[in-house]
Amino acid sequence: MAIISIPSSTTMFPMPQQVLRQDREALTLGHNFEKYEDDDNADFVIIKGAGRTFSAGGDLRIFYEERNTRDSCLEGTYRMYWLCYHIHTYKKPHIALVHGMSVGGGASLMAPMKFSVVTEKAFSSTPETNIGFHPDCGFSYMLPRLPGRLGEKLRGKEVVAAGLATHFVPSQKLFQLEKHLLSIKSGDEDTIRSVINEFSSNIHIDERSVLNKLSIINECFSKDSVEEIIESFEAEGSRKGNDWILAVLKSLKKASPTALKITLRSIREGRTQTISECLRREFRISMNIQRAITSGDFYEGIRAQIIDKDKSPKWNPSTLDKVHDDQLDLIFKPFEDHELELQIPINEEEYRWRGKYENSSYSHLRGSVLM
């Protein structure tokens, strides 16, 4: 992670070119967000990709390679969720300049920003169920507050129309926008918005976009269970003009049954919870998935998609009807020791930058059996 300090009222964070090694990158990002929130000379923050992409999320190979060592990736997971809370509640304006991939956990560094600018080359999705995981890093809070309960791959203007970004700027104007932002001498949000608006374009969604199918999507995803959602899509897909549903059904049916049920429950709970409550729950879910307490689908998904690349995961359980509520309860169950929960404030003003990994119970119990 390279840090560039601009000699003005702005601080810019270039992101790694490909993926996050969560422990190191989340530590560095967290350190700098904290530093510049308290720096009177930094009126706002810009975050952007260092290469041709924004962020592809965490390095999944590390999870797979260290799967036989209990809690080997705990530190990075903890730091990333802790960082997400502080991005959601940041005290200064922050701006994401997104050109290229912003997927999974990487999208959590785009969507919560006060201003998030995407180009036609940007695309975003939450494909975690395809690797036996769940939309995390605050997405159980964000997704139920977006139109259409979407998890589809969205491109350019669609990202803005779906509510995951605030502005669309053509790629040929992005450099000039950045240059103008760096000339601003205050953190006034209206001033920042005015500068971005000068370079942004109006949003016109292609008639073939999935965003034009929201009435059907809303109706199908309003069902009470994953099984009923799929049945509803199958019924809609049999109607003339709904060929686009075939791709939706294919995506749902190839995903991990366990991950689908975890995701539906998590997002439904997130509808009425705060960002703090959602992040605590997501951290708990993620740790239990990594510990494979009910299923090893996370590691099987990584194997099939990234390691062997055979694209043929062997999910266990293999079908939705074999995923039972008591299994899900184990994944969602709070830790018996409250100190092992993600340490972020229930009351935003309670404290601000405490609760870091190095001050948590986990750092002192590293290598112990933690439940």
Contact predicate 164/193, CB 8 Å:
no
Total structural domains within the chain? 1
**Which strand (E) or helix (H) includes residue 286?**
helix 275-290
Residue 22: what pLDDT?
Answer: 58
Asked if the model's pLDDT at residue 364 lies above 80, the reply is no
CATH number at residue 308: 3.90.226.10
Residue 315: what pLDDT?
Answer: 98
Contact predicate 90/37, CB 8 Å:
yes
- How far from the centroid of its chain's Cα atoms is residue 344's Cα? 18
- State yes or no: is 100 an active-site residue: no
Mean pLDDT of 100-110: 84
Question: Which of 136, 178, 236, 297 is flagged as catalytic?
Answer: 136
218 within some domain: yes
Q: What is the pLDDT of residues 63-87, one digit of tens each?
A: 999 899 888 888 889 999 999 999 9
- Lowest-confidence pick of 89-103, 144-158, 184-198, 240-254: 144-158
168 phi/psi in degrees, rounded to 5 = -110, 125
Largest interatomic CA distance in the chain: 60
Number of Cβ within 10 Å of residue 142's Cβ equals 22
Question: Which of 25, 71, 128, 297 is flagged as catalytic?
Answer: 128
Contact predicate 223/252, CB 8 Å:
no
102 phi/psi in degrees, rounded to 5 = -140, 85
- State yes or no: is 206 an active-site residue: no
226 within some domain: yes
Question: Which of 105, 148, 151, 301 is flagged as catalytic?
Answer: 105
Mean pLDDT of 154-179: 92
Strands 101-103 and 154-155: unpaired
pTM over 0.95: no
352 phi/psi in degrees, rounded to 5 = -110, -60
122 within some domain: yes
370 within some domain: no
- State yes or no: is 106 an active-site residue: no
Highest mean pLDDT among 35-39, 156-160, 265-269: 265-269
Burial of 145 (0-12, 13-18, 19+ CB in 10 A): exposed
Percentage of the residues of the chain whose pLDDT score is greater than 90: 52
Contact predicate 109/54, CB 8 Å:
yes
Question: Which of 49, 58, 104, 132 is flagged as catalytic?
Answer: 58
371 within some domain: no
73 within some domain: yes
- State yes or no: is 296 an active-site residue: no
Q: Which domain holds residue 80?
A: 4-364
Asked if the model's pLDDT at residue 262 lies above 50, the reply is yes
184 within some domain: yes
369 within some domain: no
